[in-house]
Amino acid sequence: MEVILKKDIPNLGYAHDVVTVKDGYGRNYLIPQGFAILATESSKKMNAEIIRQKSFKDQKASADASTMAKKLEDITVKIGAKAAATGKIYGSVNAIQIADAIKEQFNYDVDRKKIHVDGESIKELGTYKATVKLHKDIQVNINFEVVAE
């Protein structure tokens, strides 16, 4: 079954993509939840027109994301956390703390939902990597260091 996505869906596609899914998934989940519509000839034509109109905005967003990626490429963010003498921290470091630290130290606004921390969770002092997905084609790896306060 072919459907046109109305929203970005992880591991499936982005808004306005025409994707092929299993019949049950499309009929029982995507369409009733409002995440997709059936890809008929008329809906494909309307989708093509919408894509044409949004291409200019997309180019601008892509350019903004690439400039932000160049800014974020070489930075190392320091995140302070309370830690025991053994190097374990109390709690864990997550995407919210990384986004706040980037805003505080470098004055760059990065949405916390676009930050993905490599590994499961950060519970020790040290240097780690996180991936920031700025646009559907542009992602950048940033280094962050967890230090004791």
For the entire predicted model, the pTM comes to 0.68
Question: Domain holding 127: CATH number?
Answer: 3.10.430.100
- The pLDDT tens digits of the residues spanning 78-105 come to 999 999 989 899 999 999 999 999 999 9
Are residues 45 and 75 located together in one domain of the fold? no
Structure tokens at 121: 């969770």
Are residues 76 and 105 located together in one domain of the fold? yes
Are residues 101 and 32 located together in one domain of the fold? no
SS3 135: coil
Residue 48 belongs to domain spanning: 2-64
Are residues 87 and 47 located together in one domain of the fold? no
Are residues 90 and 125 located together in one domain of the fold? yes
- The pLDDT tens digits of the residues spanning 95-143 come to 999 999 999 999 999 999 999 997 777 999 999 999 999 988 899 999 9
Question: Domain holding 45: CATH number?
Answer: 3.40.5.10
- Measured between alpha carbons, how far is 114 from 71 in angstroms, rounded to an integer? 16
Q: Is 6 exposed, middle or buried (0-12, 13-18, 19+ CB in 10 A)?
A: middle
Looking at 20, 38, 64, which one is the last position of a domain?
Answer: 64
Residue 30 neighbours by CB distance under 10 Å = 23
pLDDT for position 120: 72
Residue reference for tokens 């991936």: 131
Are residues 36 and 91 located together in one domain of the fold? no
70 φ, ψ (degrees, to nearest 5): -65, -35
Domain count, the chain: 2
Q: For residue 38, what pLDDT band results from cuts at 50, 70 and 90? A: very high
